[in-house]
Structures are given as structure tokens and as C-alpha cells.
Amino acid sequence: MWEGILDRMLRGLMKVGRLDVTFPDGSVRHYGQAQGAADRIVRVTIHDETLPRRICLNADLGLGEGYVDGGLTIEDDDLYGLLELATVNAARPDQPAWRGLDLRLRRLRRGLQQHAPKATARKNVSHHYDLSGELYDLFLDEDKQYSCAYFRSPDDTLEEAQAQKKAHIAEKLRIEPGMRVLDIGCGWGGMGLTLARDYGATVLGATLSTEQQKVAAARAKAAGLEDRVEFRLTDYREVTGSFDRIVSVGMFEHVGVPQYETYFRKVYDLLDADGIALIHTIGRTAPPGGTSPWIQKYIFPGGYVPALSEVAKAVESTPLWTTDVEIWRLHYAETLRHWYERFMANADRAEELYDARFVRMWRYYLIASELGFREHRQCVFQVQLSRRKDAVPLTRDYLYRDDAQTDVAAMAAAAE
């Protein structure tokens, strides 16, 4: 029965490209149609007899678990090809009815998934960010930037693009020596250390990751910046004081919609009267939705990519001014491509740290994420906020002045 249901689901979904599936009973069925000799044909074999039922009941979770656990194999291990076929067809406007139902169920579940009191938030962060520090060294740049880089040229190295990202954010923050900066979700400390070392700021970094806090503090000590940078293991909701600038890069995805108003109210309360905040987050250029069940279960529990309307609504609940919104489109796809290539070049070491199943899981995560930015409506939002409408210049010219570009080039060269 379930093989028949899965057969109908795939016939309704597959309109672009060609997928051949060998079912557990040995039968082979074909879906879609290759348009030419250059078109990729992806061939999949389902070994696990329970997998058709699991895919029918939750396609995203079933497919991911099937690949990671070995219940589904792909000819030549062409995982990119399979996920590209799935992503391209799932992005088409003429979706079968079961896809609409699946998306509605994701939205219904998200309130429970995103409820994040402090203890839950700490547990969610630990699930991903307290993995072995050596794992992240296998694929990140030397500064351990685990967020979207900024590619001024397709030929930029990952190190150059990450340095450009930090410089671009610093320009938006209008950093001056002696300013007090709060870095919400400071990661391994790269942004805070950059603002202290290159711009003369005094920085407090807040993180819920024990591993990240330990590494960031050690980096500050090694750089001789302990007097200007503190990395604290704390929830942003527990931070007190006032700051000239607030920056948050790649953390807002973990806040959860139920806490959005709390988050922006806290930003407002912590920001000085002349202060500026810059929130950098993955976003969706589509109406509010839900998180991939597979990503939710295995990679980022409690994570959610917001629609711009959800961010704007929460900001509007505070007296904050939205002074600038910038949309980065394919920058994260390129970042993920670099991460994937580096991860696979070090896959043997990743397997030594964990196991072969973990390597398959992270292959799936990195490829699926890249294709989300290439084929789906995912992007990055940079939202600049302030308490005063004139806290930043009235045009964007200040971001592109000659000396700003010189600073960016110098930072990129230093990174190299």
C-alpha cells in the first residue's frame, strides 16, 4: 500500500528532471523526464521496507533519515543530484496537494518547537554548537566564522569573504574607538575580537555554548585583548547595562517567533539613545512557514528562518527605528559550497571524530542548506536599527566611501 502511495506522491511532484527508484520489492519506477543528454538522471534504491511509509507520512524527515541511516542509497552517491531534484521540484508553484498539507502541518507545529525558555534555549544551542571544536576547524575559515560570508567577487576566498562580511557590518555599526559593543550570540569570538582589535571597541560577547565561550575566551587571552573583550556564558535576556552598539550575527535564527518581541525589546532597552544595532540573520522571502522536520530533529532544534514580515512586526512593537534593510541572496549558497568542499576534503577526520553516519548527516545538512539558498526563497537579512531616526546618515554613501573599501581590503589581506 505505502509503495503505491509513494508512487503517486512522486508522480505529482516530479516535473523537472528524472528520478528512477528501485523499491524494496525489486520493482523499478521512473518519475519525471530528462529533457536532454546533459540532464542528470538520479537513481535511488530503497532497501528499508519501512521507508516508503515513513516518507509518505513525513517526506522531509523520511528522506533524510533514509539516506543517513543507509535505508536509501543513490547511484554514485549523488546526494547533491537527489537533493537538487527534490528542491527544484518542491520550489515549483504548481505543488501537489500533499505538499500544501505538509507545509501547513509544519506551521502548526512551530509554536511548540520554538518555545524557548532559558533552559530550553541553552539545551538547543548545546546540541549543535557544543560539538567538538575540531569538527568546525575542518571546514570554517581561520577566524571560525559560522555565518554567511560576503562575496564581492566570485573569486574571493572564504577567508576574504568572511573578512569582508565583518568589515561591512562594522561600517553599518559606525564603530569608533572606545565604544561599548554587545555581541549577542558571539560564536567563537571572531566578530568581537575584530571590533576590539581593528576598531578599538570594548566588547561583551554573550553565548549559550560552553564550547564557544571557552574557545572565544582563550582567543581573547592569546590576542592580548582580555582588557577589552569579555565572552560571557549567558542568555541575552540576562544581560544588563547600556551599549553604544549591538551586533548579532547568525543568532536570531535560534530565538523563535514567540520570543521576537522580547528580543527586540531587550535590544531597545540595552541600546544607548544614540546607539545602533545590526541584526544579521537567515531569512525567507516568502510568507511565514515552518522548519524542516529533519533539520529540526538532527541539526538545529528550535531553529526557525523568519519571514521579513515577522521581523518587522516584532520591531514595530518597540520604539526602534528600522534604518536600513539589506538582502543578501546567493552569498550563503557560496559560503556553504566552500564549507562543503572543505568538509569533504576532511571527511576522514570527521569520521574519526564521530562516525560514518555523522559524516552522511553533515553532508546532507550542508548540501540541503546550500540548495535552499540556490533554489528556494532563502536569503540573508541585515536589519539596522536605532533609537533615533538620524542616528545613521540618510544615505548609504558612508558604506562605500574610499577609505571604507581600503579598510575592507586590509582586513581581507590580514585574514589571508
Q: How far apart are CA 113 and CA 295, in angstroms?
A: 12
* Total Cβ atoms within 10 A of residue 34: 14
Locate 11 and state its grid cell: 508522480
| Average pLDDT of the chain, as a whole number | 92
* Total Cβ atoms within 10 A of residue 246: 26
Number of helices (H), then strands (E), in the chain: 17, 11
280 forms bridges with which residues in the sheet?
249, 382
- 356 and 77 in contact (C-beta within 8 Å)? no
Q: What is the DSSP letter of 307?
A: B
Locate 195 and state its grid cell: 571590533
- 212 and 186 in contact (C-beta within 8 Å)? yes
Q: Give me the pLDDT at residue 40, please.
A: 79
Q: Give me the pLDDT at residue 162, please.
A: 98
Give the amino acid at 385. Answer: L
> Which among 204, 207, 203, 205 is positioned nearest to 233, based on CA atoms?
207
Q: Give me the pLDDT at residue 99, please.
A: 72
Locate 327 and state its grid cell: 538582502
114 falls in which pLDDT band (50, 70, 90)?
low
The model's pTM: 0.91
Average pLDDT over residues 164-178: 97
- For residue 413, is pLDDT > 60? no
Locate 406 and state its grid cell: 581600503
- The sign of the dihedral angle between the CA atoms of 45, 51, 55, 61 is negative
Locate 19 and state its grid cell: 528520478
Backbone dihedral angles phi then psi of residue 194, each to the nearest 5 degrees: -65, -45
- The sign of the dihedral angle between the CA atoms of 136, 116, 67, 340 is negative
Average pLDDT over residues 332-349: 98
- For residue 65, is pLDDT > 70? yes
* Cα separation values, 16 from 90, 195, 260, 369, Å: 10, 47, 38, 20
Locate 330 and state its grid cell: 546567493
**To which H or E segment does residue 11 belong?**
helix 2-13
Average pLDDT over residues 57-85: 96
Counting Cα atoms < 13 Å in the Cβ hemisphere of 272 gives 12
238-279 pLDDT, tens digit per residue, is 999 999 999 999 999 999 999 999 999 999 999 999 999 999
Locate 360 and state its grid cell: 552522511
1 falls in which pLDDT band (50, 70, 90)?
confident
Cell 528600522 belongs to residue: 322
Backbone dihedral angles phi then psi of residue 306, each to the nearest 5 degrees: -80, 150
- For residue 43, is pLDDT > 80? yes
Domains of the chain, earliest start first:
2-95 (3.30.1050), 118-415 (3.40.50.150)
Backbone dihedral angles phi then psi of residue 218, each to the nearest 5 degrees: -65, -40
Q: Give me the pLDDT at residue 109, please.
A: 67
- Decide: helix, strand or coil at residue 49: coil
- pLDDT above 70 coverage of the chain, percent: 91
60 falls in which pLDDT band (50, 70, 90)?
very high
Q: How far apart are CA 403 and CA 399, in angstroms?
A: 10
- For residue 110, is pLDDT > 80? no
> Which among 156, 128, 134, 188 is positioned nearest to 408, based on CA atoms?
156
Q: How far apart are CA 173 and CA 179, in angstroms?
A: 11
Q: Give me the pLDDT at residue 19, please.
A: 96
284 forms bridges with which residues in the sheet?
307, 378
Backbone dihedral angles phi then psi of residue 13, each to the nearest 5 degrees: -85, -45
Residue 84 CB partners (closer than 8 Å, separation 6+): 17, 40, 371, 375
- For residue 332, is pLDDT > 90? yes
* Total Cβ atoms within 10 A of residue 176: 11
407 falls in which pLDDT band (50, 70, 90)?
low
